[in-house]
Structure 1
Amino acid sequence: MKTKAINAAEFFAGIGLVRTALEPLGVRVVWANDIKRAKFDAYYANYPDAEDHFKVDDICDINGQSLPSGIELATSSFPCIDLSHAGNRLGLVGKQSGMFWQFARVIKELPNKPRVVLLENVYGFATSHGGRDLTDALQCLNDLGYSLDVLAIDARHFVPQSRPRMFIIGIIKEELPKNAHVGVPEVSDVRPAWVTKIHEAHHENINMHYLDLPDLPDGPTNLSAVVEHNVPSGAWWDEQRVKAFVDSLSDVQKARFESLRVADALSCRTAYRRTRQGVSMWELRRDAIAGCLRTTGGGSSKQALVELGGGREPRIRWMTPREYANLMGARDYKLVAGTPNQQLFGFGDAVVVDVVRWIGEHYLIPVLRPDNEPGDE
């Protein structure tokens, strides 16, 4: 028996990794939006039907009345630049992260609100303007009729990348499942202490709930499963550039580099640039996974791969778009649209497929299809 498909709207869709995560679970994207044409091109290359439902437009110019009817799930990975600790911290008054209010406006304009909304952003959302921005967002969603839950998940539980993100899940108040709890949840790996404090601070004034969730998996501890081993030899930096890399390291970083260089085993590490006291320096990660992928544009945004040990000379190169795709859980994603930098940008601005799929399997689908409602796919 087939299960009735869940019609979804994908706000700030980017290159479509929310769809990549949820489509195998029975979610059918019937409307998507992003302002950047390059992201649509990548999305379309992987999902040709996007030509019929993907709107390349500023969300400020979108009216909820124009969306198709019957949307049960709305996802929103709205811009993080004004909320991130690496950004300007303007919060929800910022031009980019302030697009949250436009998402809420469109939801309000829909004749029938989605039964569930899923929002994703950086941990900095919780502390922006002393927590006031998050409070305002929760209150706004509450006023739209949603009871709310907050999760915090680092993608390192699924892929070799440290990528901590918070998720807000809203369920229409009248449709809360019977197994939903009210009050303050216990501390767990998906709800660390700072998340339970959010519930504690708001559950008496805002409709909040939580569902019991399984523990997160341990996740990989190295980059072996994501590294490309057949890159062109010209991708590796020349001797002069490698020397410049080493010369830029601090004493602590040089000691780490040297320890790995003389080790019997070959290892891969990621490195990124940091500006310390006005000087650009390279830093090697302590662990063997990648740092958080970011949109390309300078500073620490672009990561390098460093091979050390095993009796070989050190080798360094930029990480490739395919490696970025692998780190985002998008191993089968077609890299046929855009320039390499546009591809890196698209993945740096996306969600990790495995994380969203885990949320889908353990939260969204049980809420939206608790009894596997039969119907057409």
Structure 2
Amino acid sequence: MDGTAIHAAEFFAGIGLVRTALEPLGVQFVWANDIKQAKFNAYRENYPDADKHFKVGDVREINSMDLPSGLDLATSSFPCIDLSLAGNRLGLDGAQSGMFFEFARILEGMPRRPPVVLLENVRGFATSHGGRDIERALAKLSQLDYSLDVLAIDAKHFVPQSRPRMFIIGIAKDKLPKNSHVGVPGPSDVRPTWVTALHARHGGTYNMHYFDLPPLPEGPKDLSGVVDHDVPASEWWGVTQVKAFIDSLSPGQRVRFEALRNGDDISYRSAYRRTRQGISMWELRRDAIAGCLRTTGGGSSKQALVEVGMRREPRVRWMTPMEYARLMGAGDYKLVAGTPNQQLFGFGDAVVVDVVRWIGQHYLVPVLTSETTDKG
């Protein structure tokens, strides 16, 4: 390994968007893991060196000694299904989200733990089981001698997608830079009041700190920058399917749709299916950005794109993998491996590149290159 680079391991790597985010900042990924072969196939098409360091398999079968020595950073986007408000809410007791403890187990057994860890999950993590799950996670990471900070960032500050996520950043207590603070941070766009409440509630019990961070950018206001204009005409729905789409709209939704159709400009809106009183119906987002992309599995998981305006006949189709990639800040990602549905699944289960890169630029890399975290 390069002795001057920041060496990282990516747990629950998926299609590799954490690497996509951090590699331009000088982070060298030397180990990665995911259980899904299809995700590895996509990762390898974009990072041919994956055969050397990507371990496809169950994280429960990984031993601490399997990881390379000298790691500086470990990232973990562990499964959210048991923590999500749209999931089963089993929390860290669930078979999927409970994989957090496998990540902690591997860290605990390492002769030299990485001085910095980054965890990402849905905001439901903070309220799961009345807040007991986030407390268990903070307690476990504190036992591993990490001081902890919590951030909440909605991807809409970077891409036209509403995707609120929370991040836990752990820094080895003996590696905390001098510009870190102890206490309760003031509310900000990255630490809303529920995050400051976490600091207030747990800061006296567990190791917690915070850093001053710049404001988040404003973010795009519509989908115009992500629309794929090269989609074949055959991908747009036929007259019967479009009529069924319009007929399924609620009265309030219909008013919104007609206002857009009579507008002077072409507008793009994302739409998704909802079940209301046992009836499947379509809904348009109130704003002009996409809703949170999800793993494709039916129901409301897939989003449609609606082109409407100038009193023309509206057009509707499913969003494409390219549009999903752009909504995840990965417009240059090679869409080669897997079926279109596997590609949609991979992006719906990933992190937004721009968000993680912002955290890397303003938090992770400065910490890892400060005097207190020098190697050796």
Would you call these one fold, judging by a TM-score over 0.5? yes
Q: Tell me whether 1:287 sits opposite 2:287 in the alignment.
A: yes
- Rounded Cα–Cα distance in structure 1 between residues aligned with 2:97 and 2:373: 36
Match of 2:29 in 1: 29
Opposite residue 354 of structure 1, the aligned amino acid is D
Match of 1:219 in 2: 219
8 Å contact from structure 1 (residues 3, 373) kept in 2:
no
CA separation of 1:181 and 1:372: change in aligned 2, threshold 3 A: closer
Match of 1:151 in 2: 151
- Rounded Cα–Cα distance in structure 2 between residues aligned with 1:345 and 1:189: 29
Cα deviation per residue 1:88-115 (whole Å; 9 max; x = unaligned)? 0000000000000000001111110000
Q: Tell me, what secondary structure is at the counterpart of 2:216?
A: coil
TM-superposed CA distance for 1:374, in Å, is 9.9
**Equivalent runs, 1:1-377 vs 2, <5 Å:** 4-370=4-370
What is the TM-score when the length of structure 1 is the normalising length? 0.98
- Rounded Cα–Cα distance in structure 1 between residues aligned with 2:239 and 2:340: 24
- Rounded Cα–Cα distance in structure 2 between residues aligned with 1:267 and 1:4: 49
CA separation of 1:223 and 1:12: change in aligned 2, threshold 3 A: same
Cα deviation per residue 1:117-161 (whole Å; 9 max; x = unaligned)? 000000000000000000000000000110000000000000000
Unaligned runs of 5+ in 2: none
- Rounded Cα–Cα distance in structure 2 between residues aligned with 1:83 and 1:373: 33
- Rounded Cα–Cα distance in structure 2 between residues aligned with 1:5 and 1:177: 19
- Rounded Cα–Cα distance in structure 2 between residues aligned with 1:112 and 1:275: 50
Unaligned runs of 5+ in 1: none
CA separation of 1:105 and 1:3: change in aligned 2, threshold 3 A: closer
- Rounded Cα–Cα distance in structure 2 between residues aligned with 1:82 and 1:274: 21
Q: Tell me, what secondary structure is at the counterpart of 2:117?
A: strand
Q: Tell me, what secondary structure is at the counterpart of 2:141?
A: helix
- Rounded Cα–Cα distance in structure 2 between residues aligned with 1:352 and 1:371: 30
What is the TM-score when the length of structure 2 is the normalising length? 0.98
8 Å contact from structure 1 (residues 117, 169) kept in 2:
yes
- Identical pairs, percent: 72
- Rounded Cα–Cα distance in structure 2 between residues aligned with 1:69 and 1:96: 27
Cα deviation per residue 1:161-194 (whole Å; 9 max; x = unaligned)? 0000000000000111100000000000000000
TM-superposed CA distance for 1:370, in Å, is 2.3
Opposite residue 356 of structure 1, the aligned amino acid is V
TM-superposed CA distance for 1:32, in Å, is 0.1
| Count of residues paired in the alignment | 374
Q: Tell me, what secondary structure is at the counterpart of 1:324?
A: helix
8 Å contact from structure 1 (residues 3, 374) kept in 2:
no
- Rounded Cα–Cα distance in structure 2 between residues aligned with 1:198 and 1:240: 51
8 Å contact from structure 2 (residues 7, 30) kept in 1:
yes
Opposite residue 140 of structure 2, the aligned amino acid is C
Q: Tell me, what secondary structure is at the counterpart of 1:80?
A: coil
8 Å contact from structure 1 (residues 9, 29) kept in 2:
yes
TM-superposed CA distance for 1:299, in Å, is 1.0
8 Å contact from structure 1 (residues 128, 134) kept in 2:
yes
